[in-house]
Structure 1
Amino acid sequence: MTSPTRIHITGASGSGCTTLGRTLAERLGVPLLDTDDYFWHATVPLFQKKRDREERNAGLKRDMALHAQCVISGSVMMWDSELDDAFDLVVFLHVPDEVRMARLIARETERFGTPDAEFIAWAATYETADTTTRSLALHREWLAQRTCDILPITGNYTIEANVARILCHLGEPSSSSTPPCPTFSST
């Protein structure tokens, strides 16, 4: 990338934002800023203590100011209005619910031995919840208000296919092993 570009990859928990973000950041040679690193204190086990709202917002803004080119994975909805339009591109991943929930249960089992029932119950409401929580309705509302470019990717595609689609969208060459500009449906 030759110009300042901040790419935010967002979607429901389990949609693959962090995995795609990590792979895209590596491909572009830019830092990955994962919102979980700002939202949560580093604890063992993970995800036990939330950061203060001002602390997390200041940390992410500080790191974004240091990197004109970066990939931000996760969700900044309802964080800080300054962050809402701090991106050049927002990639919205919308993965089928059954795929996403299976990923979450497997990930929770791998990390903690057993899924956290409260977290799984919350994540299961993504498709049907209203705009008072992280939900499809809130994501759609938030995306409709953005001033930057939006790239929706709906479906369960490989990481490489998603990276290729984003690179094509940016006008960047994809790797020789991926077809140029794959077609995806939109939300």
Structure 2
Amino acid sequence: MTRSCQIPRPTVVAVTGVAGSGKTTLGRTLAQALALPLVDLDSVTTPLLDALGDTIFGTHWLTSAHAPAIRAGRYAALRAVAADAVSSAGGAVLVAPFTAELAGGDDWRRLHDAVAAADLRVVHLSGDPQLFAARRAARGEARDAHRDDIAPAAPAVEVITIDAELSTSQQIARLLPELGLRRHLDPDAALFSRTFDAVLFDLDGTLVDSTASVVRSWRRFAEHYGVSAEALHENHGQPARVLISKLLPADLFDEGLSRVTDLEVDDAVDLAPVRGARAFFDAVPVARRAIVTSGTHRLASARLGAAGFTPPDVFVTADDVTRGKPDPEPFLTAAAALGVDPARCLVVEDAAAGIAAARAAGCSVLALTGTVEAHELPGDVVLDGLDVVELEATGDGLRLRVR
């Protein structure tokens, strides 16, 4: 096992979001990960309502004149089942839009009171309305035709916001640490006995949690050019120019590169640092740190600024090298600029292509989950956040240790 088997205390996680946000998929996966029962509003109430049909309501129950009373009854049933789950299983994962509950007030208090024996955490799936509409169209559920398309207001209660653009595994990788479940870390790993002269950081998914922004931008690119989403995933971590050369004919290369760059820069707004990244980055002496990214200088600067980072003195981008990751050139370039031996460098990465580049350069690797699965990251140590480690300056150099 790589994680604790149980959450620290009885917990109810309410997974919320509009239709098409992926809350059912996330809820099921989260319930399995937490070993808690799943209570889905649709499973609890929809079969009964659909069975009653137009003979009772005269129209679809979502648009019936009795819709407010139906809504109240549905959530009363959900709360009752949730209360039973807490008393018998110690918690639950609830799945529902919870639109009124997120506004606070009486509906929120009723939900909170129903599961008062447990901690209540709310996960809110947000994202591109066009993505949600496309998902609803693809699944073809009859009741989607009766839903209100008005965008809900921002939550008024405390929530954990997760971007629906992320894959389910990426969402889980962000949620479990928030809920107190951390990946096992071996303090006796060989990496903790070494010292380093410098730390070389990847940017996307390592310092800045830009994964959803990257996925959203490339999804829009793929939709425009009719490109396979699988091909994008398989080439994660490589420079855009390399990826585009694989996906588009030569006569569309310049246009495609310009388009995806504009998409990514425009989407680089209000990005968050990766868990623990700001403190860890700031702890590295200025003369001993560098950022090595597959993005262009324009894009990398936009993302750093959006997350509140100042670019370091040594900032190696796709504009500075001939061959990008997985070639070792980017990391060798950074080590040379810092005046250090690559074998005395610690690389912090989140992608297989970056890890391959670091290995080829002779560097040690601290890998972060959140973009790909842990088994895809052949790092010396694999973490679910930089907040669990820290750097100590010694006479021999920088030493990594468990916080």
- Does the alignment reach a TM-score above 0.5? yes
1:73 is matched with which residue: 84, 95, 98? 95
Q: CA deviation at 1:4?
A: 0.9
Which residues of structure 2 form unaligned runs of 5+? 1-6, 54-59, 63-68, 102-106, 184-372, 377-382, 387-403
Percent sequence identity is 28
Change in CA separation of 1:9 and 1:177 when aligned onto 2, cut-off 3 Å: farther
Superposition map of 1:28-177 within 5 A: 28-40=34-46, 41=48, 43=50, 48-49=60-61, 52-68=70-86, 69-78=91-100, 80=107, 81-83=109-111, 86=115, 88-108=120-140, 111-112=141-142, 116=145, 118-119=146-147, 122-123=148-149, 125-126=150-151, 135=152, 137=153, 140=154, 143-144=155-156, 146=157, 149-154=158-163, 156-173=165-182, 176-177=374-375
- Bigger drift between 50-59 and 88-97 goes to 50-59
Task: Compare relative contact order (CA 8 Å, sep 6+) and give the higher one, 1 or 2.
Answer: 1
Deviation at 1:160, TM superposition (A): 0.3
The alignment covers a number of residue pairs equal to: 159
Shift of residue 88 of structure 1?
1.8
Mark the CA change 1:45 to 1:53 in structure 2 (over 3 Å): closer, same or farther. Answer: closer
Q: Kindly state the Cα deviation for residue 167 of structure 1 after the two structures are TM-superposed.
A: 0.3
State TM-score, norm by structure 1. 0.70
**Shift in CA distance, 97/173, structure 1 to aligned 2, threshold 3 Å:** same
Residue 19 of structure 1 deviates from its aligned partner by 0.8
Extract structure 1 runs of 4+ deviating beyond 4 A: 84-87
- Partner SS state of residue 91, structure 1: strand
Contact 1:38 1:60 (8 Å CA) reproduced:
yes
One of 359, 381, 384 as aligned partner of 1:180:
384
Larger radius of gyration: 2
| Cα distance change of structure 1 residues 54 and 6 upon mapping to structure 2, 3 Å threshold | same
Unaligned runs of 5+ in 1: 127-134, 183-187
Q: Distance in 1 between matches of 2:144 and 2:120?
A: 35
Q: Deviations over 1:72-119 (max 9, x none)?
A: 1122233634115756211111121121110011112xx45x963x43
- Evaluate the alpha carbon distance shift between residue 2 and residue 42 of structure 1 in structure 2; reply closer, same or farther with a 3 A threshold: farther
**Counterpart in the other structure of 1:185:** none
CA apart distance, 1:177 = 3.8
